[in-house]
Amino acid sequence: MIIKPVPCLKDNYAYLLLDPQANQAAVVDPVEPEKVKAALAEYPEYKLSAGRQELLTNQPFIYLLIYIYRILTTHHHWDHAGGNKKLLEQFPELTCYGGSNNVEGVNKIVGDKESFKVGQLEVIPLTTACHTMDHICYYVSDNGKNAVFTGDCIFSSGCGRFFEGTPQDMWESISKVAALPDSTHVYFGHEYTIANLKFAEHVEPENKEIQEKIAWAKRVGCTTPSTIQNEKLTNPFFRVQESSVQERVLGKDNKASPIEVLGKVRAMKDNF
Ligand SMILES: [Zn+2]
Protein backbone atom coordinates (compact mmCIF):
# COMPACT_ATOMS: atom_id res chain seq x y z
CA MET A 1 0.00 0.00 0.00
CA ILE A 2 0.96 3.62 -0.50
CA ILE A 3 -0.02 6.29 2.01
CA LYS A 4 0.45 9.94 1.15
CA PRO A 5 -0.13 12.75 3.67
CA VAL A 6 -1.93 15.81 2.30
CA PRO A 7 -1.44 18.89 4.51
CA CYS A 8 -4.72 20.84 4.79
CA LEU A 9 -5.87 24.02 6.58
CA LYS A 10 -3.35 25.27 9.18
CA ASP A 11 -2.03 22.00 10.59
CA ASN A 12 -4.43 19.20 9.53
CA TYR A 13 -3.49 16.09 7.61
CA ALA A 14 -5.74 14.36 5.09
CA TYR A 15 -4.33 11.15 3.60
CA LEU A 16 -4.47 9.17 0.39
CA LEU A 17 -4.58 5.40 0.85
CA LEU A 18 -3.66 3.63 -2.39
CA ASP A 19 -3.71 -0.05 -3.25
CA PRO A 20 -1.20 -0.63 -6.07
CA GLN A 21 -2.49 -4.16 -6.71
CA ALA A 22 -6.04 -3.09 -7.52
CA ASN A 23 -5.18 0.55 -8.35
CA GLN A 24 -7.89 1.70 -5.98
CA ALA A 25 -7.87 4.72 -3.74
CA ALA A 26 -9.44 5.98 -0.55
CA VAL A 27 -9.13 9.37 1.09
CA VAL A 28 -9.00 9.99 4.84
CA ASP A 29 -10.55 13.23 6.25
CA PRO A 30 -10.43 15.17 2.94
CA VAL A 31 -11.36 18.54 4.47
CA GLU A 32 -10.00 20.40 1.43
CA PRO A 33 -11.09 18.22 -1.52
CA GLU A 34 -9.16 20.24 -4.11
CA LYS A 35 -5.86 19.60 -2.32
CA VAL A 36 -6.65 15.91 -1.98
CA LYS A 37 -7.58 15.64 -5.66
CA ALA A 38 -4.38 17.48 -6.65
CA ALA A 39 -2.38 14.98 -4.56
CA LEU A 40 -4.21 12.09 -6.22
CA ALA A 41 -3.40 13.56 -9.65
CA GLU A 42 0.25 12.71 -8.93
CA TYR A 43 -0.79 9.06 -9.22
CA PRO A 44 -2.50 9.06 -12.63
CA GLU A 45 -2.77 5.28 -12.85
CA TYR A 46 -5.16 5.36 -9.90
CA LYS A 47 -7.44 7.80 -11.67
CA LEU A 48 -8.24 5.30 -14.41
CA SER A 49 -8.83 2.27 -12.32
CA ALA A 50 -10.19 3.62 -9.06
CA GLY A 51 -13.60 2.79 -10.44
CA ARG A 52 -14.98 0.89 -13.33
CA GLN A 53 -14.78 1.48 -17.05
CA GLU A 54 -18.00 1.32 -19.01
CA LEU A 55 -18.20 1.10 -22.76
CA LEU A 56 -20.74 3.48 -24.24
CA THR A 57 -22.60 1.24 -26.64
CA ASN A 58 -23.23 3.84 -29.31
CA GLN A 59 -19.67 5.16 -29.18
CA PRO A 60 -17.49 2.06 -29.16
CA PHE A 61 -14.19 3.86 -28.76
CA ILE A 62 -15.12 6.18 -25.95
CA TYR A 63 -14.98 4.99 -22.41
CA LEU A 64 -16.84 6.61 -19.57
CA LEU A 65 -14.59 6.60 -16.58
CA ILE A 66 -16.24 6.51 -13.21
CA TYR A 67 -13.94 7.18 -10.33
CA ILE A 68 -14.99 5.58 -7.10
CA TYR A 69 -13.22 7.03 -4.13
CA ARG A 70 -13.96 6.02 -0.64
CA ILE A 71 -13.95 8.58 2.14
CA LEU A 72 -12.81 7.38 5.56
CA THR A 73 -13.88 9.94 8.16
CA THR A 74 -12.37 9.75 11.62
CA HIS A 75 -14.94 11.98 13.40
CA HIS A 76 -17.56 14.67 12.94
CA HIS A 77 -15.48 17.81 13.55
CA TRP A 78 -15.59 20.17 10.55
CA ASP A 79 -11.79 20.25 10.11
CA HIS A 80 -11.95 16.51 9.31
CA ALA A 81 -15.42 15.90 7.85
CA GLY A 82 -16.01 19.38 6.37
CA GLY A 83 -15.00 18.44 2.81
CA ASN A 84 -17.21 15.36 2.51
CA LYS A 85 -20.32 17.02 1.04
CA LYS A 86 -18.31 18.87 -1.59
CA LEU A 87 -16.62 15.66 -2.67
CA LEU A 88 -19.97 13.81 -2.69
CA GLU A 89 -21.48 16.49 -4.91
CA GLN A 90 -18.74 15.83 -7.45
CA PHE A 91 -18.76 12.04 -7.01
CA PRO A 92 -22.21 10.97 -5.79
CA GLU A 93 -21.26 7.28 -5.99
CA LEU A 94 -18.74 7.70 -3.18
CA THR A 95 -18.97 5.56 -0.11
CA CYS A 96 -18.44 7.81 2.89
CA TYR A 97 -17.57 5.92 6.07
CA GLY A 98 -17.93 7.36 9.55
CA GLY A 99 -18.92 6.52 13.11
CA SER A 100 -22.31 8.30 13.33
CA ASN A 101 -24.91 10.35 11.50
CA ASN A 102 -23.22 13.48 12.89
CA VAL A 103 -20.45 12.99 10.30
CA GLU A 104 -21.08 15.24 7.30
CA GLY A 105 -22.08 13.25 4.22
CA VAL A 106 -21.82 9.84 5.90
CA ASN A 107 -23.62 7.09 3.99
CA LYS A 108 -22.03 4.07 5.66
CA ILE A 109 -21.83 3.95 9.44
CA VAL A 110 -19.23 1.51 10.69
CA GLY A 111 -19.03 -0.27 14.02
CA ASP A 112 -16.01 -1.73 15.78
CA LYS A 113 -14.06 -4.15 13.54
CA GLU A 114 -16.72 -4.09 10.76
CA SER A 115 -14.05 -4.39 8.12
CA PHE A 116 -14.32 -3.45 4.45
CA LYS A 117 -12.02 -3.45 1.44
CA VAL A 118 -10.22 -0.72 -0.46
CA GLY A 119 -9.04 -2.67 -3.47
CA GLN A 120 -7.45 -5.70 -1.87
CA LEU A 121 -6.61 -3.91 1.36
CA GLU A 122 -8.66 -4.82 4.39
CA VAL A 123 -9.59 -1.77 6.45
CA ILE A 124 -10.59 -2.43 10.06
CA PRO A 125 -12.45 0.38 11.86
CA LEU A 126 -11.69 0.69 15.56
CA THR A 127 -14.22 2.58 17.69
CA THR A 128 -12.14 4.99 19.75
CA ALA A 129 -14.51 7.24 21.67
CA CYS A 130 -13.54 10.21 23.84
CA HIS A 131 -12.43 13.22 21.74
CA THR A 132 -15.82 12.63 20.11
CA MET A 133 -18.02 9.65 20.88
CA ASP A 134 -18.21 8.76 17.16
CA HIS A 135 -14.44 8.67 16.67
CA ILE A 136 -13.09 5.86 14.47
CA CYS A 137 -9.46 4.90 13.86
CA TYR A 138 -8.89 2.89 10.67
CA TYR A 139 -6.34 0.07 10.72
CA VAL A 140 -4.95 -1.36 7.48
CA SER A 141 -2.43 -4.15 7.05
CA ASP A 142 -0.77 -5.27 3.85
CA ASN A 143 1.96 -7.90 3.57
CA GLY A 144 3.49 -7.16 6.95
CA LYS A 145 3.12 -3.38 6.57
CA ASN A 146 0.59 -1.94 9.02
CA ALA A 147 -0.91 1.51 9.35
CA VAL A 148 -3.55 3.18 11.50
CA PHE A 149 -5.25 6.51 10.83
CA THR A 150 -5.88 8.00 14.24
CA GLY A 151 -7.56 11.38 13.49
CA ASP A 152 -7.83 13.38 16.71
CA CYS A 153 -7.75 10.36 19.03
CA ILE A 154 -3.99 9.91 19.06
CA PHE A 155 -1.37 12.38 17.91
CA SER A 156 2.37 11.96 17.77
CA SER A 157 3.33 12.06 21.47
CA GLY A 158 -0.11 13.30 22.47
CA CYS A 159 -3.85 12.69 22.32
CA GLY A 160 -6.99 14.66 21.50
CA ARG A 161 -8.92 16.71 24.02
CA PHE A 162 -11.69 14.88 25.89
CA PHE A 163 -14.55 16.90 24.36
CA GLU A 164 -17.26 14.25 24.63
CA GLY A 165 -15.84 11.36 26.65
CA THR A 166 -14.19 10.52 29.94
CA PRO A 167 -10.66 9.45 30.92
CA GLN A 168 -12.01 5.88 30.99
CA ASP A 169 -13.16 6.20 27.35
CA MET A 170 -9.74 7.51 26.29
CA TRP A 171 -7.94 4.81 28.23
CA GLU A 172 -9.98 2.16 26.40
CA SER A 173 -9.26 3.86 23.06
CA ILE A 174 -5.53 4.18 23.72
CA SER A 175 -5.36 0.56 24.91
CA LYS A 176 -7.04 -0.60 21.70
CA VAL A 177 -4.56 1.26 19.50
CA ALA A 178 -1.58 0.33 21.70
CA ALA A 179 -2.49 -3.36 21.18
CA LEU A 180 -1.72 -3.08 17.45
CA PRO A 181 1.71 -4.36 16.36
CA ASP A 182 4.57 -2.11 17.53
CA SER A 183 5.71 -1.58 13.93
CA THR A 184 2.31 -0.08 12.92
CA HIS A 185 2.69 3.36 11.38
CA VAL A 186 0.48 5.95 13.07
CA TYR A 187 -1.00 8.56 10.72
CA PHE A 188 -2.50 11.28 12.92
CA GLY A 189 -4.81 14.23 12.16
CA HIS A 190 -2.75 17.29 13.19
CA GLU A 191 0.89 18.38 13.18
CA TYR A 192 1.05 19.13 16.92
CA THR A 193 4.17 17.07 17.52
CA ILE A 194 6.63 19.69 18.78
CA ALA A 195 4.10 21.22 21.21
CA ASN A 196 3.18 17.71 22.39
CA LEU A 197 6.82 16.81 22.93
CA LYS A 198 7.45 19.96 24.97
CA PHE A 199 4.68 18.81 27.30
CA ALA A 200 6.01 15.23 27.26
CA GLU A 201 9.43 16.57 28.29
CA HIS A 202 7.78 18.55 31.09
CA VAL A 203 6.22 15.30 32.37
CA GLU A 204 9.37 13.22 31.91
CA PRO A 205 12.44 15.49 31.87
CA GLU A 206 14.78 12.46 32.01
CA ASN A 207 13.27 10.63 29.02
CA LYS A 208 16.02 10.43 26.37
CA GLU A 209 13.62 9.21 23.65
CA ILE A 210 11.58 12.39 24.06
CA GLN A 211 14.68 14.59 23.85
CA GLU A 212 15.86 12.83 20.69
CA LYS A 213 12.41 13.09 19.14
CA ILE A 214 12.28 16.85 19.78
CA ALA A 215 15.56 17.33 17.87
CA TRP A 216 14.30 15.08 15.06
CA ALA A 217 10.88 16.82 14.83
CA LYS A 218 12.50 20.25 14.59
CA ARG A 219 14.72 18.95 11.78
CA VAL A 220 12.03 17.27 9.65
CA GLY A 221 9.01 19.58 10.15
CA CYS A 222 6.43 17.05 8.91
CA THR A 223 6.44 14.25 11.49
CA THR A 224 3.76 11.89 10.19
CA PRO A 225 3.78 8.92 10.55
CA SER A 226 4.83 7.86 14.03
CA THR A 227 4.83 4.23 15.16
CA ILE A 228 3.09 2.43 18.02
CA GLN A 229 6.52 1.58 19.40
CA ASN A 230 7.57 5.24 19.42
CA GLU A 231 4.31 6.28 21.10
CA LYS A 232 4.93 3.75 23.86
CA LEU A 233 8.31 5.42 24.44
CA THR A 234 7.36 9.11 24.13
CA ASN A 235 3.63 9.65 24.56
CA PRO A 236 2.71 10.55 28.17
CA PHE A 237 -0.88 9.36 27.57
CA PHE A 238 0.40 5.90 26.61
CA ARG A 239 2.81 5.94 29.57
CA VAL A 240 0.44 6.51 32.50
CA GLN A 241 1.53 3.22 34.05
CA GLU A 242 5.21 4.24 34.10
CA SER A 243 6.49 5.21 37.54
CA SER A 244 8.14 8.36 36.13
CA VAL A 245 4.77 9.66 34.85
CA GLN A 246 2.86 8.57 37.97
CA GLU A 247 5.37 10.28 40.26
CA ARG A 248 5.21 13.51 38.28
CA VAL A 249 1.43 13.60 38.39
CA LEU A 250 0.72 12.18 41.85
CA GLY A 251 3.84 13.01 43.80
CA LYS A 252 6.19 10.46 45.32
CA ASP A 253 4.84 7.20 46.74
CA ASN A 254 1.21 7.89 45.75
CA LYS A 255 -0.68 5.35 43.70
CA ALA A 256 -3.66 5.71 41.37
CA SER A 257 -5.27 3.78 38.53
CA PRO A 258 -4.08 4.40 34.94
CA ILE A 259 -7.46 6.04 34.24
CA GLU A 260 -7.05 8.55 37.08
CA VAL A 261 -3.49 9.31 36.01
CA LEU A 262 -4.64 9.75 32.41
CA GLY A 263 -7.28 12.27 33.52
CA LYS A 264 -4.68 14.19 35.50
CA VAL A 265 -2.16 14.20 32.63
CA ARG A 266 -4.87 15.52 30.28
CA ALA A 267 -5.79 18.28 32.74
CA MET A 268 -2.09 19.20 33.05
CA LYS A 269 -1.75 19.37 29.25
CA ASP A 270 -4.92 21.50 28.92
CA ASN A 271 -3.32 24.06 31.23
CA PHE A 272 0.25 23.75 29.94
ZN1 LIG B 1 -11.46 16.87 16.38
Residue 229 lies in a domain: no
Residue 156 lies in a domain: yes
| Domain CATH code at residue 40 | 3.60.15.10
CA 196 / ligand 1 centre spacing (Å): 16
Per-residue pLDDT of the chain (272 residues; tens, 9 = 90+): 999 999 999 999 999 999 888 878 899 999 999 999 889 888 877 753 344 444 344 444 444 444 557 899 999 999 999 999 998 888 877 889 999 999 999 999 999 999 998 888 999 999 999 999 999 999 999 988 999 999 999 999 999 999 999 999 999 999 999 999 999 999 999 999 999 999 999 999 999 999 999 999 999 999 999 999 999 999 999 999 999 999 999 998 888 999 999 999 999 999 99
Residue 122 lies in a domain: yes
Residue 178 lies in a domain: yes
Q: Residues 80, 135, 169, 185: which is the catalytic one?
A: 80
Please give the single-letter amino acid code of residue 190.
H
Residue 48 lies in a domain: yes
Q: How many domains does the chain divide into?
A: 1
Known catalytic residue: 185?
no
Known catalytic residue: 79?
yes
Residue 33 lies in a domain: yes
CA 155 / ligand 1 centre spacing (Å): 11
Picking from 241, 141, 147, 145, the residue whose alpha carbon sits closest to that of residue 187 is 147
Residue 199 lies in a domain: no
Known catalytic residue: 152?
yes
CB distance 188 to 3 below 8 Å: no
Known catalytic residue: 80?
yes
CA 152 / ligand 1 centre spacing (Å): 5
Domain that holds residue 138: 2-192
CA 58 / ligand 1 centre spacing (Å): 49
CA 173 / ligand 1 centre spacing (Å): 15
Q: Cα 67 vs. chain centroid, distance in angstroms?
A: 24
- Reported as a single tens digit per residue, the pLDDT across 191-226 is 999 999 999 999 999 999 999 999 999 999 999 999
Residue 44 lies in a domain: yes
Alpha helix segments (H runs only) across the chain = 33-41, 44-49, 78-81, 84-90, 167-178, 193-203, 208-220, 228-234, 243-250, 258-270
Q: Residues 19, 29, 75, 169: which is the catalytic one?
A: 75
- What 8-state DSSP symbol labels residue 190? B
CA 186 / ligand 1 centre spacing (Å): 17
Known catalytic residue: 190?
yes
